[in-house]
């Protein structure tokens, strides 16, 4: 016997799932969310939010160590790792409770438990324990988890080999650690632990760290990381991990084919993520998968009638804001609204290391590969009054335009607060703004955002302050 019937059932209460559920309820659909663990998903509980709390701590710690440069005095600067972790978990817990209140406010039912799918009518039926739920539309928002490679020993043990969960809740501050992978997750943890005093080594398979970023920005960030004392090993591969009583010996094959052994207290696995597609009944339904992710169209629709997939489980980019927007597009299409198919070209990427990195659109290399005749503008932080006043004058803003049309093809930044500034360029791309519009926009002074204006001017030979 069916426990209840809904217009929409969302499986997963993360940034994609809860946003999709709320939007469905706003559009008058009877909606439920099935969540097996914590509302807010990995992002809120074990990702985006608590890591930013940790990184804020490291930022303050860094500033305290340089108090004298600001005319201040701070003696015997230290930290309590238990208190640091406690603050991070408190921030996550506060927001998780807020998601529950939002769902209740919008009259979305929350069903606690683990869902499986079975063949149904208009859409697959949802089973949670012994209860069966029917819906006209079922949205998969089950997220993803850290990728592991057991054959190479790249598998967490909760002690010496960590995923993001263990890295977020250390019982003690390690004296040394090695991070495998230099994407956003890996570099953020590398930055946090290095700032807090650990000896940090990063191993990356590609020829540079932050490989998805524009090469010029990636190189700038790498130079800064090395200056901070971080060791970067690129064009390299971890062949095996050898655990001893107190350490891990990491066997790394470098670009020349030579194997070197790096011995550290802890290892963080940041080698990518894979979608949570197991134990859902997808195989029996014939749901099309591609490399561990559910295949969907621009509206979240899978190849199975009435079944949709959004967020990390539907593939890259694995970003919370991508999941949320994808969920809204999916639900509005279900409701019969006239919406554009979901596209990834205007999704910003942000990495909250020190210095921060942010970008949107095409890199210089990708723009050239696509056949564009381009104009490139740059402006350094050292030429900006606000950056100098902040004591954080190392950074770069870079913009790429189509020389024929003036279209902003891409924007890339490294430096203080660029994760906040990037939204200006995201909006510019969304509104199909040209270089002329940006040149005629008045930016407030003194702000870091003035560098965005100067970078545009530089692309067309009109830069003022450089």
What are the residue numbers of the active site? 445
CA 404 – CA 394 distance, rounded (Å): 32
CA 326 – CA 323 distance, rounded (Å): 5
Peptide bond into 233 cis (omega under 30): no
CA 214 – CA 367 distance, rounded (Å): 11
Tell me whether residue 132 is exposed, middle or buried, using C-beta atoms within 10 angstroms of its C-beta: 0 to 12, 13 to 18, 19 or more.
middle
Tell me how far apart the 2 most distant CA atoms of the chain are, in Å.
73
Query: Please, are residues 391 and 70 in contact by the beta-carbon 8 Å criterion?
Result: yes
CA 285 – CA 171 distance, rounded (Å): 43
| Residue carrying structure tokens 């080999």 | 161
CA 282 – CA 293 distance, rounded (Å): 11
Report strand pairing: 109-112 vs 374-380: unpaired
Helix segments in 68-183, DSSP class H: 81-105, 164-168
Phi, psi of 281 (to 5 degrees): 85, 20
CA 302 – CA 298 distance, rounded (Å): 10
Q: Cα angle vertex 454, ends 349, 428, to 5°?
A: 45
Query: Please, are residues 340 and 158 in contact by the beta-carbon 8 Å criterion?
Result: no
The DSSP secondary-structure symbol of 149 reads B
Helix segments in 228-290, DSSP class H: 282-285
Nearest to 324 by CA among 180, 156, 139, 77: 139
Q: Which two tokens stand for residue 28?
A: 């008058």
The backbone region for 9, taken as left when phi is positive above 0, alpha when psi lies in -120 to 50, beta otherwise, is beta
Beta-carbon contacts of 197 under 8 Å, excluding residues fewer than 6 positions away, are 173
Nearest to 335 by CA among 372, 302, 361, 308: 308
């Amino acid at each position: 016997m069916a426990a209840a019937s809904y217009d929409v059932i969302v499986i997963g209460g993360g940034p994609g799932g809860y946003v999709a559920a709320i939007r469905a309820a706003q559009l008058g659909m009877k909606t439920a969310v099935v969540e097996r663990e914590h509302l807010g998903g990995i992002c809120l509980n074990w990702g985006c939010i608590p890591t930013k709390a940790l990184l804020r701590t490291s930022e303050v710690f860094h500033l305290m160590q340089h108090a004298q440069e600001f005319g201040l005095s701070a003696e015997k600067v230290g930290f309590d790792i238990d208190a640091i972790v406690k603050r991070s978990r408190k921030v996550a817990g506060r927001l998780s409770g807020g998601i529950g209140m939002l769902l209740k406010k919008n009259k979305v039912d929350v069903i606690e438990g683990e869902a499986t799918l079975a063949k149904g009518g208009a859409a697959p039926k949802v089973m949670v324990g012994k209860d069966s739920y029917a819906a006209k539309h079922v949205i998969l928002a089950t997220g993803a988890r850290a990728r592991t490679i057991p054959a190479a020993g790249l598998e967490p043990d909760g002690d010496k080999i960590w995923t993001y969960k263990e890295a977020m809740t250390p019982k003690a501050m390690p004296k040394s650690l090695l991070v495998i992978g230099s994407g956003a997750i890996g570099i953020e943890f590398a930055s946090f632990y290095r700032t807090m005093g650990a000896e940090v080594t990063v191993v990356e398979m590609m020829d540079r760290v932050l490989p998805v970023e524009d090469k010029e920005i990636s190189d700038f960030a790498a130079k800064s990381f090395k200056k901070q004392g971080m060791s970067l090993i690129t064009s390299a591969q971890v062949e095996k991990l050898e655990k001893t009583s107190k350490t891990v010996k990491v066997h790394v094959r470098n670009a020349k084919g030579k194997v070197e052994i790096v011995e550290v207290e802890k290892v963080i696995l940041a080698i990518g993520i894979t979608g949570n597609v197991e134990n859902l009944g997808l195989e029996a339904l014939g749901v099309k998968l591609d490399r561990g992710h559910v295949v969907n169209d621009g509206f979240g629709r899978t190849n199975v009638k009435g079944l949709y997939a959004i967020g990390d489980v539907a593939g890259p980019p694995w970003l919370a804001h991508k999941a949320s927007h994808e969920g809204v597009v999916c639900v509005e299409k279900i409701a019969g609204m006239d919406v554009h198919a979901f596209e990834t070209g205007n999704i910003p990427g942000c990495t909250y290391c020190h210095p921060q990195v942010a970008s949107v659109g095409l890199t210089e290399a990708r723009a050239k590969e696509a056949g564009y005749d381009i104009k490139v503008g740059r402006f350094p932080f050292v030429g900006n009054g606000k950056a100098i006043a902040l004591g954080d004058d190392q950074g770069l803003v870079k913009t790429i335009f189509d020389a024929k049309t003036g279209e902003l093809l891409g924007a890339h930044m490294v430096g203080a607060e660029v994760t906040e500034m990037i939204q200006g360029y995201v909006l510019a791309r969304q509104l199909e703004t040209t270089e002329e519009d940006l040149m005629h926009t008045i930016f407030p002074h003194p702000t870091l955002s003035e560098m965005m204006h100067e970078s545009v001017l530089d692309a067309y030979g009109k830069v003022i302050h450089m």
